[in-house]
Amino acid sequence: MTEDIERESASASPTDSEAGAAAAEAPPVKPTPAPVPARPAQEADVSRRGFFSWAAVAWVGFTAATGACVTAWGRFMFPNVLYEPPTSFKVGKPEDFPPGVVDERFKETNGVWIVNNDGQIYSLIAICTHLGCPPAWLDAQNKFKCPCHGSGYYKSGINFEGPTPRPLERARISIDPSDNQILVDKAQKYLWEQGQWEDPNSYILSG
Amino acid sequence: MFDALKELVNYFSDPKWSFTITTVVFVAALFWRRLWTNLGGLVMLVGVTLYFVVSMFDENFRLVVAKPDNVPIVMMVYFVGFFVWLSMKKAYDNDERIANGEPTFEKTEANDKIFTWPDLVFSEFICMVILTVLLVVWSIMLQAPLEEPANTAVAPNPSKAPWYFLGLQEMLVYFDPWMAGVVLPSLIIVGLCAIPYIDTNTKGNGYFTFKERRSEIVLFMYGFVVLWCYLIVVGTFMRGPNWNFFGLYEYWDINKVEPLVNVDLSEYIFIKMLGVGLPSFWLVRELPGILLLLLYFVVLPVGLTKLQFFKRYYDDMGASRFYVGIGLFLTMMLLPIKMYLRWAFNLKYLVHIQEFFFNV
């Protein structure tokens, strides 16, 4: 405290008007520089051991915080409630799907068309095999048509126009013997180019 | 009379015509000195504006062009036009100076030095203020095209990429998604980065010129203006429901039927020409396409070095630079080639190996 006051007076004196006038008359004297304040004592006192113990505390804190963030993020990946529709669902009895009709009722809720074509009922997954847009069924033109790049598919799901390299995919379809309803399982897909449409699980015969 | 004109424009909007016309007219225009003067620029500006204004009286044209999403594309037409005009004008002016033995414009200008502050920073500041005002006014006047909450089962028809990607989306119509979505875009970026290493000619460094760099400028401008900007214009104004093609004044009819049945090269060769049916082994089946691609990418570059025009480049650049450059050039030309093959023969893929997801 006393040091500070002394320094203040020392630095203030040259700007003082009296002192300035005196200095102008007297021969030029070099102003004495203000004394450099001594560094606080405790700063120089940090020992090697003290530094490392503080660093250890800091690292532990940082690691704990990071770990907590990662844990929270990991938990976020497994939500309590899923708002997605189940991949396996019932769509009704085979009689509900008249021959030659592409049923669009389940496209919005479950992302599939149920098609009754040539005595077979099968379920086409409504994702374009070009880049994944949902195509639209054009009844008047008897084809599926993708709005993104113009890929087109026949009612069977076979691609015939536009840039898509392969047909639509079919989902597993079966009849649940307990209530005679059609059960669609999107978790299992059947690909035409691998010959899987021959698989009896990829279609059911309409009566 | 207007109706007949509209019909005519609609007819020539078809990509096989409009792409050809754009290519020919644009490349020819680069060589037409009169266009790249003050008068030429004014004529182009008035012409384009007049076209837009008159066309706005057409309902279908107005629906597409005046859509808030599409305003940037109209601006792009003007901006790209302006900057092409500006640089070409400067280039032609310099060429005349060089021919007269005078120093280039940039060289005479290099002696005039100005301060960063205030001369540069102040004009930057003014630009910033004007641009901010413009963006604020724009965002107030034109509503953001927000729609109902997204539904994964329904895509808007047509579904369009952000406007700056519409060139890529147009490419996707002609190529496999892996090619048009990954390989070609990467090659565009890599190729642009590689230009200074391939083209080490110092002519044109620090000054505009056309005469000294004709083929390079024509090539770059073709890639940028025709293969990128023009395809954006096509994707914005001429692609309607179901990604069908519509003329500029055509009604976007969702039920328009266009036969687009596409055929692979292997099907042309084995079924239509030889009549033997597709071979089951993929290598045999796709052999014609693979041979064609090898011819294009290996034999053609070597053959080009025998031509006088390319020989000069080969001698200047050395083998490695030349072949990398010509490879990138041929990859770029694959897009127009594939487009013409699609329009002319409904060709789907040259090589279609589903077994490995490899389609070209």
Residues of B in contact with A160 (CB under 8 A): 261-262
Residue A27 main-chain phi, psi, to 5 deg: -60, 145
Within an 8 Å CB–CB cutoff, is residue B338 touching chain A?
no
Does residue A30 have a pLDDT over 80? no
Closest residue, chain A, to B355 (C-alpha): A193
Query: Do residues B265 and B289 touch, judged by C-beta distance below 8 A?
Result: yes
Q: How many domains does chain B have?
A: 2
To test the contact with chain A by mutation, choose from B243, B246, B256 the residue with the greatest count of A C-beta atoms within 10 A, namely B243
pLDDT exceeds cutoff 60 at A25: no
Contacts of B242 in chain A (CB under 8 A): 136, 138, 145-147, 150
* Same domain (yes/no): B79, B180: yes
Tokens at B9, concatenated? 């424009």
- B185 to chain A, any CB pair closer than 8 A? The answer is no
Q: What is the mean pLDDT of residues B217-234?
A: 94
Exposure on the CB side of residue B61, measured as CA atoms within 13 A: 16
Residues B238 and B298 in one domain: no
Token pair, residue B269, equals 């060769």
Of the residues B194, B213, B243, the one at which a domain ends: B243
The domain segmentation of chain A, as residue ranges, is 97-205
Evaluate whether residue B110 is within a structural domain.
no
Assess if residue B342 is contained within a domain. yes
Quick one: B169 and B227 in the same domain? yes
Rounded CA-CA distance A96/A116 in Å is 10
Residue of A149, A160, A192, A194 to mutate for B, most B C-beta atoms under 10 A:
A149
Range of the domain at B214: 2-104+158-243
Q: With 90 as the cut, is the pLDDT of residue B110 above it?
A: no
**Residue B295 and residue B338 share a domain:** yes
Distance CA A48, CA A183 (A): 71
Tell me the ipTM for this assembly. 0.76
> How does residue B338 score in pLDDT terms, banded at 50, 70 and 90?
very high
Cα A58 from Cα B277, distance rounded (Å): 74
Quick one: B350 and B216 in the same domain? no
Rounded to the nearest integer, the mean pLDDT of chain B is 90
Residues from chain A that touch B169, judged by Cβ atoms under 8 A, are 148-149
Contact between A148 and B159 (Cβ < 8 Å): yes
Same domain, B29 and B177: yes
Run of H or E residues at A6: helix A2-12
Is the domain of B41 the same as that of B171? yes
**CA dist., res. B157 & res. B256, Å (int):** 13
Closest CA to B153 of A111, A190, A186: A111
- B278 lies in the same domain as B192: no
- Nearest partner of B266 among B285, B246, B242, judged by Cα: B285
Is residue B115 situated within a structural domain? no
Pick from B161, B163, B174, B178: nearest CA to B229: B163
pLDDT of amino acid A13? 44
Task: Compute the nearest-CA separation of B171 from chain A (Å).
Answer: 9
Better pLDDT: A11 or A109: A109
Q: What average pLDDT does this structure show over B208-225?
A: 93
pTM: 0.78
* Same domain, yes or no: B202 and B232: yes
Tokens of B246: 């519509």
Given an 8 Å threshold on Cβ–Cβ distance, is A148 in contact with B159? Answer: yes
Q: Are residues A137 and B158 in contact, defined by beta-carbon separation less than 8 angstroms?
A: no
For residue B284, the SS3 value is helix
**What are the angstrom distances between the C-alpha of B167 and each of B155, B300, B343?**
20, 27, 18
**Residue type at A185 in one-letter notation:** D
Residue after which a domain boundary falls, among B212, B243, B274 = B243
Tell if the CB–CB gap between B260 and A162 is shorter than 8 Å.
yes
Among the partner residues A126, A150, A165, nearest to B243 by beta-carbon distance: A150
Residue A188, SS3 per DSSP: strand
Choose which CATH entry (3.50.30.10, 2.102.10.10, 2.40.50.100, 3.30.360.10) describes domain A97-205. 2.102.10.10
- Cite the DSSP H helix spans in A45-106: 48-76
Does B197 share its domain with B271?
A: no
pLDDT score of A68: 97
Nearest to B18 by CA among B241, B340, B242, B329: B340
Closest CA to A163 of B27, B347, B120: B347
